[in-house]
Structure 1
Amino acid sequence: MPKVGIVMGSISDLEVVKGAKKVLEGFGVEVEMRVLSAHRTPVEAARYAQDAEKNGIEVLIAAAGKAAHLPGVLAAYTTLPVIGLPIKSSTLDGLDSLLSIVQMPSGVPVATVAINGSENAALLAVQMLALRYKHLADKLREHKQRMAQQVLEQDKKLQEEVIS
């Protein structure tokens, strides 16, 4: 079973991260969640990233607010793909987090999603895993078809209301 590690810099990020967990589990992906701080527990964060692959993790999602160094720290210690999830903070509405994550130096890439974009972080992880697991590619196609169908149904309803 494919496995994604979700690491958050603070337990206060949990409400946002729950969306990613729900999406991943909906696709049948195992999820491991941890609270590790790039600043307060740097040794543990580094160790987690170094051991992730041997512990069966194939993609990491790192949620962090404010200075948001966690995704970059994890990426520095692993060759696994890391998806940065900027968390909206009270200071700059998450813009500080977004810029901290997206502006990684050359050689240490971190894929980055929207502020509080946990569902897209999960879907991106599933897309990465789908390169290896055909059943996930099939599920992603079905997911996109369902989304398209919902929009077409909404459009049909709108057209019926406008005509009547």
Structure 2
Amino acid sequence: MENIKVLILMGSKSDRPIMQKAEIVLEEFGVAYKTMIRSAHRTPEATMQAVMDAEAAGCQVFICGAGMAAHLAGVVCSKTVKPVIGVPIASGPLQGEDALHATVMMPPGLPVATVGINGSKNAGLLAVQMLAQTDEELSEKLKADRVAQAESILAED
């Protein structure tokens, strides 16, 4: 695995349209990332190997998207001390409510930062904010993005 700052994991290929929003954010900010499909339940060994390989490649933040039982973020969190951001994905009869609760209700001592259902854009931005704590260039890009957002809203008036 090449040098990356963020590893995006998703439970299945059906999650890709949602998780692509995080990829777009990371690309816009120039953050090196890799995306993989791994399942906490169907490919546990491959999931653990992906976490280890990513850390060896310099990964600083993990973004994990999954629906229904949504254990991917929690399983990744159990294997790393790096920040993990969970993206609950709308699927199944509860349309993501189950995934939201599964992602946000981690046991004490194993926190997963959780964004809203299908909120991978915010997950990407949160990863950038985490990385910007030690990267002044990213921090300046974030400040410029906030100014651009405000100007866009004001221009609609």
- Residue of structure 2 aligned with 1:107, choices 101, 106, 109: 109
Alignment partner, residue 132 of structure 1? 134
Alignment partner, residue 142 of structure 1? 144
- Residue of structure 2 aligned with 1:154, choices 145, 153, 156: 156
The one-letter code sitting in structure 1 at the alignment partner of 2:31 is V
In structure 2, runs of 5+ residues without a counterpart are none
Distance in 2, Cα, partners of 1:2 & 1:148: 31
Shift, 1:141, TM fit: 0.1
Distance in 2, Cα, partners of 1:87 & 1:21: 16
Give the CA RMSD over aligned residues. 1.1
Secondary structure at the aligned position of 1:84 is classed as strand
In structure 1, runs of 5+ residues without a counterpart are 156-164
Indicate if the aligned counterparts of 1:101 and 1:112 stay in contact, CA closer than 8 A. Answer: yes
Distance in 1, Cα, partners of 2:51 & 2:36: 11
Alignment partner, residue 27 of structure 2? 25
Indicate if the aligned counterparts of 1:7 and 1:60 stay in contact, CA closer than 8 A. Answer: yes
Deviation digits for residues 87-136 of structure 1 (CA, Å, limit 9, x no counterpart)? 00031010000000000000111000000001100000000000011100
Distance in 1, Cα, partners of 2:58 & 2:7: 9
Indicate if the aligned counterparts of 1:49 and 1:75 stay in contact, CA closer than 8 A. Answer: no
Moved over 3 A (4+): none
Q: What aligned pairs does 1:1-164 form with structure 2 within 5 A after superposition?
A: 3-155=5-157
| Identical amino acids, percent of aligned pairs | 49
Q: How many residues align?
A: 155
Larger radius of gyration between Structure 1 and Structure 2 = 1
Q: Greater helix share, 1 or 2?
A: 1
Shift, 1:2, TM fit: 5.9
Shift, 1:43, TM fit: 1.1
Distance in 1, Cα, partners of 2:122 & 2:92: 22
TM-score (norm 2): 0.95
TM-score (norm 1): 0.91
